[in-house]
Chain A
Amino acid sequence: MAEDDIYRSSTQYRLWSFSRSALHELRERTNHLAAARVRAAFPPSAPVPDCLTPSEELALVTYYCKQCLSLGSFLDFPTGVVATATQYLKRFYLTNSPMTYHPKALLPTALFLATKTENHHVPLRDFARRLPRTEPDDVLAPEFLLTQGLRFAFDVRHPHRGLKGAYLELRALADGKGVAPPRSARAGASPADLQREMRRLPPRSTKGEAAATATALADTDKDRDAAPPAALQQRLQDAYGRANESLRGPALLSDAYFHFSPAQIWLGALWAADEPLARFYVATKLPAASGAAPTRQDGGGGGAPLASTKRLVPALQACADMLAAHSDDGAGPSSSSSSSATAAAAAPGARSKDDLVRIDKKLYQCRNPDKLDLVGLNRAQKRDQAGLDGRLDENVAKRRRVEREKGEKEAEEVFGGALKGVGNGGGGEDAGGGEGTTEAEKKEMAA
């Protein structure tokens, strides 16, 4: 993980960084707890609801994060606001289940809170007015819940600015105006040397040629023709553009923020965009192998917490894989062309629209009936009413029926025309077929 002191002291690192297994376990636990609560909340006479699996929950959350991106750009919010809002959702749903709180209800709240924490406060009325069928109360009701789920840590560190810094540094290097700091692998090289080296970088590989590139890079480039300055500038611009795209989408939708530091994420994005270029950049920054671990002192770049190339490269590769796995996320059925097993496993959001519709329908059968009316719950809790639970219990059965019916309609709205193609509007108890059921069964057995 990160070496950098500032990053280490951040809540992003202290509270919101996980190993893959820890993250997996946390999601399992959250799902398990929520499912138990759903079952307990249904009257014994009712059929046992078929609960969502952790991977179905994740798919749903990822979908709503994507909706958050669209909503954010529709509202013309700055990147920082939208990026923070998606991470709020992702963080919130590590310890809360969509079965308890529907992501659709939390999405406007996350976005609104992000406007406040990212210095882009929009008055609530104006904000609510711009959303369909949303009252100010709907936005505010889950705010407290959200802040609690965020463990009152509002700061989210993003990779965007770091990438911009690196881009500017690379441009300077391409112009023959860059230097490599003393302990980096390229220390001592003159600006002209660096420029020459940069012009002779092997072309960026397309998928599947990564290994070949690595060798090509090793037996350097004496014979290769130097790229003309304009071509190099174009290459930089393209790489920056692609990397930026992945910071605005895949980086936010994947689990990248939970596993990697901001610097690793933007370097990972650059790696995925143009690996030889990223390797060259890293060499101008870091020693080849650690030993005397340098303290970071380069002015640009955004304070990358990096120790040495040797330690960094596997992390960058893993991050690049994770971003690549999410790069076609949402464009229909997953067509992940990545051969890496980790990459495939890291793309849980890559579900087809049909599958998402199925999950959303399933959710309407297993939502926690006690937590449906967030506005009412919030009001009651503010008044600190004790008799709350009892009062809700009386209404549970009726409410559930109403919600089920309403749920189907809403699903139709959220997923648009897709529902028509699916047919089976009845959406019976056995809505979840295939993988979902098996996983649910496994969970049952484990319980």
Chain B
Amino acid sequence: MGADIAEQLNEETRRRYVKGKKLGEGTYAIVYRGHLAADPAQAVAIKKIKVNADYKDGLTMDAIREVKFLQELSHPNIIAMHAVFSSRNQNLNLVLEFLPLGDLEMLIRGSDSVAYGIADIKAWMAMLARAVHFCHSRFVLHRDIKPNNLLIAADGTVKLADFGLARGFADPYSPMTHNVITRWYRPPELFFRARFYSGAVDVWSMGCVFAELVMRTPFMPGNTDIDQVSVISRAIGTPTEDNWPGVSSLEGYVPVAKDKVNPVQGKQYYLGLFGLVGPLGVDLLMSMLVLDPRRRATTRKVLAHDWWRAEPKPTKKEELPKKGGGESRVGEDLKRRGGELENGRSDKVARKLDFGGK
């Protein structure tokens, strides 16, 4: 007996791929290696969404968001989703491009440290900036930019991945949740529980990644949400009405006694920490880490910055330093990240609490 057309289409898609061995496991998915049935040389990654027994509302928001946005976004610096299919027992499978060289976090802090320089950072940051600009031009916020969501293709291209927290922001009157973005990369307005925000939240995260690439350690590693606000105040400056008009009317804003206010750090301070990237690079970094989201750089401004054209030129992607090994590293990476969770990094806090939507 023939199946419905919808079923047939799904079946055709499923048959186009062969699932291989397990590559890794994340919070809400298991990732397998796979290839095209017709051509074993064409590798893919198959991300099988786990059934979440605690979630009583059907398909999870993570899965919905990831599928929804990856279906619409096609860009060289965003992980490509080739297809989606369901298996017989109703598991959702995302066929993604295979990205065998780990992620930026592994390059930044890998056990056998990879040497890289300013030109490499410039190349990686440019790819990140293009990816985020593309998202924003399509009215999509990523809301979880961090080094381990920046995967690396076999040819060295950086690809923004993990759209499980993304959302559209075309409607400026629709409130959003403030509980997004992994803590160390989360901008101050979200700690103050802003409900109306913009692409500036992602730009802050980009700034944090930039700083981390230079320092090779997270720039603002807070231990708790409250601690994170003080870390930001120390690292960048205390948000006040002076440097951020309107901040005190945000719901979660806590006034700071005058004598406790840290002035916004000047260029000298940044040059001291990030002088490696030169005055132009520092200028770009500072523009991404402006406290007031309205004065923070947009991705358009970021891309127009002179730093990209200044010496040294960004490294060609084929010449970018790579973490050798590929697949065997994936396992290490998972172990390492598990450890970090114990150290209080709580990577997934935002995601877990975000089921309420908005």
Contact = CB atoms under 8 A, between A and B. Distances in A.
Contacts of A139: 58
Q: Specify the main secondary structure of chain A where it touches its partner.
A: helix
A9 B74 contact: yes
Nearest to A122: B357
Contacts of B1: 37, 40-41
Bin chain B's interface residue count. 35 or more
Given A40-B1, A121-B61, A155-B71, A149 B6 contact: yes
Interface in A107-137: 112-113, 115-117, 119-121, 123-125, 136
A143 interface: yes
B2 A116 contact: no
B318 interface: no
A183 interface: no
Contacts of A121: 57, 61, 355-358
A148 B74 CA distance: 21
A384 B89 contact: yes
A117 B5 contact: no
B10 interface: yes
B171 A116 contact: no
B96 to A, nearest CB: 13
A43 to B, nearest CB: 14
B72 A11 contact: yes
A381 B5 contact: no
A353 interface: no
Contacts of A136: 56
A154 interface: yes
Given A30-B5, A154-B64, A154-B67, A147 B72 contact: no
B10 A148 contact: yes
B4 interface: yes
Interface in B9-32: 9-10
A8 B59 CA distance: 28
Contact of B358 (A29, A119, A161, A378): A119
A151 interface: yes
A10 interface: yes
A6 interface: yes
Interface residues of A, number: 50
Contacts, number: 109
Contacts of B170: 161
B90 interface: yes
Contacts of B56: 124-125, 136
A87 interface: no
B332 interface: no
A119 B357 contact: yes
Interface string A42-74: 000000000000000000000000000000000
B61 A116 contact: yes
Contact of B4 (A9, A95, A381): A95
Contacts of A30: 4-5
Nearest to A37: B1
Contact of B72 (A9, A95, A113): A9
A149 B356 CA distance: 26
A414 interface: no
Nearest to A120: B357
B198 interface: no
28 contacts: A10-B72, A30-B4, A33-B2, A33-B4, A33-B5, A92-B6, A116-B61, A120-B358, A121-B61, A121-B356, A121-B358, A124-B56, A139-B58, A140-B58, A144-B90, A147-B92, A148-B86, A149-B4, A151-B9, A152-B67, A152-B71, A152-B84, A152-B85, A153-B71, A154-B67, A161-B171, A381-B89, A384-B88
Interface of A: 6, 9-11, 26, 29-30, 33-34, 36-37, 40-41, 80, 92, 95-97, 100, 112-113, 115-117, 119-121, 123-125, 136, 139-140, 143-145, 147-149, 151-155, 161, 378, 381-384
Per CB-CB distance, the 9 closest pairs between chain A and chain B, nearest first, are: A121-B357, A152-B84, A384-B89, A95-B5, A154-B68, A95-B6, A149-B6, A124-B57, A143-B58
